Amino acid sequence: MGSEYVLIEVDGIKENKKEVDESTRHMTLVVGSEDHFLTLRHNAKNLHSIYIYADSNKQHVDRVLLFSHLTRLRTLSLYDCDFEILPEDIGLLKHLRYLDLSVPKERKTYLDLGDLKVLKYLQFQSVLSIHRCANAGNLDESERINLNSWQHLLDLTLRFRETAELYEIGEILDDDTEIMESLQPHPNLKALAIWDYLGATVSPTWMMSLTNLTSLELNFCTKCEILPLLGKLPSLVSLVIWCLDSLKKVGPEFLGITERDEEDHSTARRDLDTPSEPSIISFPRLKKLKFDWNEE
């Protein structure tokens, strides 16, 4: 009978390990050499958690040998493991509830938008950050992901490209607008941050459906000329607008006031003998508002 917890150290072809059998529930794997991972066979099928630590930043997880039999896995940590494509076998992990794919801040490794389609069983409870939304061909991928069905997702960051690329491109991109439309989140979302977006407007049709949104950040949307009707968001508490270089003025639309609203309000005032209370209430819960531009 083996142990419920096993620590395995792998260095080259030598393996310092305890036996992994059907009684093992938790495993830590420490890998010291490049391109070598332990083969996990059927006797590891009852594992509930795996934590992998790689000393080299060139590690590649073997998608067949590592994941194909681990269908009861609930926690998987692959911190600092290099991926060009997320292993598709992760999509077989129906019970997976925690997945760590993070890398050190000084590295620029990221997962592409299309990788999310293999995580169909994972319930995101808090934070999801999607990088490289603007990659060519991602429109079809983003539609298949169907973020609108992820009702447990509360905090979403959409980063379209690296900030350094913004000023190299130097033009409005209609593709960004289409991809933004396809990334509609569920109305339960509470926090949204949009980075490095090059559409002419950051007003997707779904923005006003986010009635539970309490925090919104628009960062380096350098070609955005018009703001959405943000004053109509009933739950918004914090709004940060940073480096929208093409935004020259903030008009009534920022408060959520349209020309039709102004006409209706003026008509109502004229029809009354006494002054009325304002019928248009903008940002009913807002506590923090911050604008910041690049100094030139």
From first to last of the 296 residues of the chain, give the pLDDT tens digit: 567 888 877 665 444 455 677 888 998 877 765 545 555 655 678 899 988 876 554 444 544 346 667 888 888 887 766 665 666 777 778 888 777 776 654 444 445 665 666 666 665 556 777 877 886 455 666 666 788 888 888 999 998 988 888 777 877 888 889 889 989 999 999 999 999 999 988 989 999 999 999 999 999 999 998 888 999 999 999 999 999 999 888 888 888 876 555 555 555 555 555 555 556 789 999 999 999 876 54
**What's residue 16's pLDDT?**
46
| Burial readout 265-284 (b: 16 or more C-beta within 10 A, e: otherwise) | eeeeeeeeeeeeeeeeebbe
Q: Which two tokens stand for residue 27?
A: 């495993």
Sheet containing strand 26-31, edge to edge, reads 14-16, 5-11, 26-31, 49-54, 75-77, 98-100
Supply the pTM of this predicted model. 0.69
Q: Cα separation of 92 and 100, whole Å?
A: 17
Cα 127-286-284 angle, rounded to 5 deg:
120
**What's residue 92's pLDDT?**
76
Q: How many CB atoms lie within 10 A of CB 170?
A: 9
Q: Which long-range CB contacts under 8 A does 15-19 form with residues at least 24 apart? A: none
**What's residue 256's pLDDT?**
81
Q: Cα separation of 145 and 137, whole Å?
A: 14
197 CA to centre of own chain: 14
**What's residue 64's pLDDT?**
39
Q: Which long-range CB contacts under 8 A does 81-88 form with residues at least 24 apart? A: 81/52, 81/54, 82/57, 82/58, 82/109, 83/109, 83/111, 83/115, 85/112, 85/115, 86/111, 86/115, 86/118, 86/119, 87/61, 87/63, 87/118, 88/63, 88/118
Q: Are 176 and 201 in contact (CB under 8 A)?
A: no
